[in-house]
A and B are shown apart, each in its own frame.
Chain A
């Protein structure tokens, strides 16, 4: 497939949470009050960093073992997999996907997390991989636990895995969170509900995938990620018009 060299599509901000979402309290002082300034993508916005496979260690996508000290991580063993595509359905190959999460009890290995649930000595909670030539990725981990946070009294986050993906353009950069099918905490969560559209929220829910379960080892969840599309170059817009 020849490289597509056109512009990255405008972001459909209606699919995303607005900056100011007061039921998620921290957003109140961390949201701009003025409108974003729209610019067309230039050479810098249409390009992005290229990460080489040499960046990765052999266990980078195996969170059950990549922090192991004297055993494997404790919890519900799962495989999370899917395809990174753009809005036109084209696979996004060789792009860096990074993930992080709490352990099975909802405790993060972070100096600022003081939740009373214990750390798991064999679980770090960080992983990464590059998508393959067809845009596919997978990692192995334990299902994270919910955890309480200081928002409204004691809100509880649903079980979730944070993820970060680059695409091939800095304009495609995306950080978001994956939730698990059937979790009753999802509709109660002020962070989930920063996304105005219910259908958009549902696109953050990974689906149980029994077909890819590893028998007597791990359940599987399927989660596809869609990045902004890159248009074909039909005509260049000229300031003086055509």
Chain B
């Protein structure tokens, strides 16, 4: 018999009212602590990331909760005061979500090779039994994207582009749009991390 360990607690959906616990303001709960979790404060170049999550019929997922995890501008995690983490929800009427953050620096991969700059995202929602992990990369970083060890591990070359955001022109803050397709033709790559 192999060695027995404890087993991870099984996941369950966050459900439609996930906001009560994780973003009470969005649920309409005005008291309690009001954190602006969608704003990540730190040193570096300020950027905006906005997006939409679409289901298998192309309909926006309007009750999704999105969490973001990233390195600081020097490519470090948990260094100094930068929390590196944020949380936001899709708007109930349109499904649009957004973060204000700083551009992450380069984080070395396990073998020391540089990864392209990216943020990690986790998606929780009604109908999602275990959260979906993905990454958002920046379109300007062409050479780094071509060399990124995680992108290169995606055998289907055509799918890699689903992880690269689109630059939105004409904004005062550099803005990136990232549309996540949960299911279908242009299905976003999700990772088993």
Contact assessment for A32 and B190 in the assembled complex, using a CB-CB cutoff below 8 Å: yes
Knowing A33-B187, A42-B150, A109-B20 are in contact, say whether A175-B8 is a contact too (CB < 8 A): no
CB nearest to A43 among chain B residues: B107
B31 to chain A, nearest CB (A): 6
CB nearest to B129 among chain A residues: A17
Instruction: Tell yes or no: B6 within 8 A of A by CB.
Output: yes
CB nearest to A14 among chain B residues: B7
B131 to chain A, nearest CB (A): 6
Contact assessment for A201 and B111 in the assembled complex, using a CB-CB cutoff below 8 Å: no
Interface size on A, residues (CB 8 A): 87
CB nearest to A102 among chain B residues: B17
In the assembled complex, which residues on chain A have CB atoms less than 8 Å from the CB atom of B184?
A: 33
Knowing A19-B129, A109-B28, A126-B20 are in contact, say whether A227-B189 is a contact too (CB < 8 A): no
Instruction: Tell yes or no: A45 within 8 A of B by CB.
Output: yes
Contact assessment for A29 and B8 in the assembled complex, using a CB-CB cutoff below 8 Å: no
Contact assessment for A11 and B8 in the assembled complex, using a CB-CB cutoff below 8 Å: yes
Partner of A100, one of B8, B17, B109, B150: B17
A contact face: mostly helix, strand, loop, or mixed: loop
B contact face: mostly helix, strand, loop, or mixed: loop
Partner of A225, one of B9, B15, B70: B9
User: CA of A27 to CA of B150 in the docked complex: distance in angstroms?
Assistant: 28
In the assembled complex, which residues on chain B have CB atoms less than 8 Å from the CB atom of A86?
A: 6
Given A37-B154, A40-B110, A49-B83, 18 other A-B contacts at CB below 8 A? A10-B192, A12-B8, A13-B130, A29-B59, A30-B56, A30-B61, A38-B192, A44-B70, A49-B69, A100-B21, A110-B17, A126-B21, A171-B193, A174-B8, A175-B12, A176-B9, A176-B10, A191-B13
Interface residues of B (CB under 8 A from A): 5-22, 24, 27-29, 31-33, 55-57, 59, 61, 63, 67, 69-71, 77-78, 83-85, 92, 107-111, 115, 120, 122, 124-132, 150, 153-154, 159, 182-184, 187-193
